[in-house]
Structure 1
Amino acid sequence: MRKKISLKDIANEMGVSTAVVSYVLNNKYEGRISEAKANEIKNIAKKLNYFPNQIAKSLKKDRTFTIGLIIADISNLFYSSIARYIENESKKYNYNVIFGSADENADKFNELIQVMLGRQVDGIILAAPKGTETTLNYLKERQLPFVLIDRYFPQIMEINTVGVNNYQASYTVVQHIAANGYKKPAMVTLRTDLFHMQDRVSGFKDACRQLLGEQDSKVVEVKEDMLSEELEECLLNLLEEQNDLVYFSTNKIAMEGLAILVKRDVKVPNEMGIVCFDQADAYKIFNTSITFIKQPLQYIGSKSVEMLISSINGNRFAENVVLETQIVSGNSSASRKNS
């Protein structure tokens, strides 16, 4: 069996004490030894393939230096991007991340929570599906640090949350398209009870009423598990009803919708304007530049980690962070005033 390298082995190689090696490998050597000597010790540790004993380290400090991340749907580009930022930010605090995707399923979410608890994570960042309020309250009662991202549950008070102003995001969309001369927009969204999605719908409806005089604005809800089947019929109906623009409320709907418009050879924006919530690299292959709502993904990731680490370190004051979005204008919602 291959011998496990210890601090003593590195100390013997360098001719220093194990305490000095420990200071260096835990980045606590400043003022004790020179930068050059510290780099020598790090290089020896690397050459000898030294790996710290995380179990002993966690027992000593009563921490595992791992955090759990449960996202709502790994196939959603928003969450895959957020996961990358969270992992990068966690490394700055010397934390590892354990991932899980709930696939918008409450039962799977509950199972993942138990897995995280079994791994004794120090805290969890999560995007909870609908119907998980009981589990969130359970985590709160256990006083396990957690931060809710993207979603919120108004009935659960005093928990850490990071999200965007979904109402204002949709309102801004209508301001943009009204300024560009669109008169009859429609919104395509998911059939869901999630509050952040309802906020997007409310912002759209209120703006249509106040800015366009549309008392009964067109909002079409589609089932997520039947997205491709329902969306094509939906878009054809909107074209027939002469809606001049479609606002897709998620990038998952947008990707499916754009593919349908290409298949049907719908001219964008001449026959139908397009605005999408969230960005996606795949928009670049569409034959028209896409107007989209940009969320501050990197800041959401870094802020959620910062809040979680603060909570792990004993801060029990809940923080509610609501961030603003911005609209990035493309040709898909180009002005119709002169057309």
Structure 2
Amino acid sequence: MGNRKVSMKDIAGELGVSVALVSYVLNGKKTDKINENTAARIKDLAAKMNYSPNQIAKSLKTNRTQTLGLIVADISNLFYSSIAKYIEEEADKYGYRVIYGSAHEDPKRFNSILQLLLSRQVDGLILAMPEKTESCIQMLKDQRKPFVIIDRKFYEYPEIPAILLNNRAASKSIVEHLYNNGFKRLGAVTINRNLVSLQERKEGFMDASSELLGSRPFIYELEEDQMDVQMDEVINNALYRDKVDGLCFFTNKVAMTGLSKIAAIDIAVPGQLGIVCFDEAKAYDIFRTPVSYYKQPLPEMSKTAIEYLLKEIDQKEQGLIEKPNEFIGKLVIRRSSDRQ
């Protein structure tokens, strides 16, 4: 056929079946009424002939582009690169492709990427929204554009669909674990951002510490763009001024910076200092002692985000999630916090 684009008609002619049957198979329609062997033959031949659908014509006919937009807060953060991977895999199961961008926690960059995705007419959006982007929520509602927020929530919009960790429960389980292992002077290191998820981690950590230990923990907040410099002072203050013996890092970027500073100090872990981090990271294995961490159920969160979004796309109605859908993760206990 030379360089001519293969059509459904070509496939139908090769197999001696109708074009309609080929269309049903390749578009996943009426699958319960089509012979499995026939469907397999059609798919195999389509692959061999390098058939690809005319997406423009298809979108004009169905008013769908079969694409989803994903904006993550910061793709350099291992948490978000993992989320992107799982969301892409889950979307692929439903025949969707994902176009994504990274806002780098910058509202202007987020808005620019959002407008680009809307101009591409994506069928729906999954958003990890930076601070000061709340106005986009009302805009998307007004446009009736299906969307789901992931890893973030906004108190001003309690009805907006959101998929995230139960951060208070996560912090509570970390404090309970440190307390049960004999750590009595607790501290937490975080970044100075007004994100609900981080605020709830802090509140959960403080409440659990007050309840179990009868005292408030030490909370150290860093400016993200000065993290490396400020971390030296934080670690010194925690260990030598405040006499902290149990330390929690609230994000994996904070954790990797903090662990590198602690590795340069002659201090026994967990003998003198217990350590627990949020989120899983291969880089934790570089630390001399296996690091305990709180693992978020990213595959389940990604699956739920895709399922809710596709329901909104199919039903053309918003508000299918009446409140934020909060997940419980798992504390993976390793040597860095285990005195037992």
1:324, distance to aligned residue in structure 2 (A): 1.3
Give the TM-score, by structure 2 length: 0.95
Looking at structure 1, the residues matched to 267 and 199 of structure 2 have their Cα atoms a distance apart, in angstroms, of: 29
Looking at structure 2, the residues matched to 133 and 211 of structure 1 have their Cα atoms a distance apart, in angstroms, of: 36
1:282, distance to aligned residue in structure 2 (A): 1.8
Looking at structure 1, the residues matched to 37 and 148 of structure 2 have their Cα atoms a distance apart, in angstroms, of: 40
3-state SS of 2:4 partner: coil
Question: Aligned to 2:328, which of 313, 317, 324?
Answer: 324
* CA-to-aligned-CA distance 1:18-59 (integer Å, 9 cap, x gap): 112112212336465432222222222122211011111111
Give the TM-score, by structure 1 length: 0.95
Aligned to 2:277: 276
AA aligned opposite 1:10? I
AA aligned opposite 1:306? E
AA aligned opposite 2:318? R
Question: Aligned to 1:335, which of 328, 332, 339?
Answer: 339
**Is the contact between residue 247 and residue 275 of structure 1 (CA under 8 Å) also seen in structure 2?**
yes
Q: Is structure 2 residue 303 aligned with structure 1 residue 302? A: yes
Mean Cα displacement is larger for which, 120-129 or 17-26? 17-26
Looking at structure 1, the residues matched to 51 and 294 of structure 2 have their Cα atoms a distance apart, in angstroms, of: 46
**Is the contact between residue 29 and residue 38 of structure 1 (CA under 8 Å) also seen in structure 2?**
no
Identity %: 46
1:69-84 pair list within 5 angstroms: 69-84=70-85
Mean Cα displacement is larger for which, 31-40 or 286-295? 31-40
Equivalent pairs counted in the alignment come to 335
3-state SS of 1:327 partner: strand
AA aligned opposite 1:199? E
Looking at structure 2, the residues matched to 152 and 41 of structure 1 have their Cα atoms a distance apart, in angstroms, of: 45
1:329, distance to aligned residue in structure 2 (A): 1.0
3-state SS of 2:234 partner: helix
AA aligned opposite 1:228? D
1:74, distance to aligned residue in structure 2 (A): 0.4
AA aligned opposite 2:334? G
RMSD, matched Cα: 1.5
- Unaligned runs of 5+ residues in structure 1 are none
1:279, distance to aligned residue in structure 2 (A): 1.2
3-state SS of 2:13 partner: helix
Aligned to 2:220: 220
Closer, same or farther in 2 for the Cα pair 1:32/1:134, shift >3 Å?
Answer: closer
Aligned to 2:129: 128
Aligned to 2:201: 200
3-state SS of 1:167 partner: helix
**Is the contact between residue 20 and residue 29 of structure 1 (CA under 8 Å) also seen in structure 2?**
no
* CA-to-aligned-CA distance 1:202-244 (integer Å, 9 cap, x gap): 1111111111111x42101001111111112210121112211
**Is the contact between residue 187 and residue 246 of structure 1 (CA under 8 Å) also seen in structure 2?**
yes
Q: Is structure 2 residue 2 aligned with structure 1 residue 12? A: no
* CA-to-aligned-CA distance 1:255-309 (integer Å, 9 cap, x gap): 1111111123432112311010111122223221111111111111000000100
3-state SS of 1:313 partner: helix
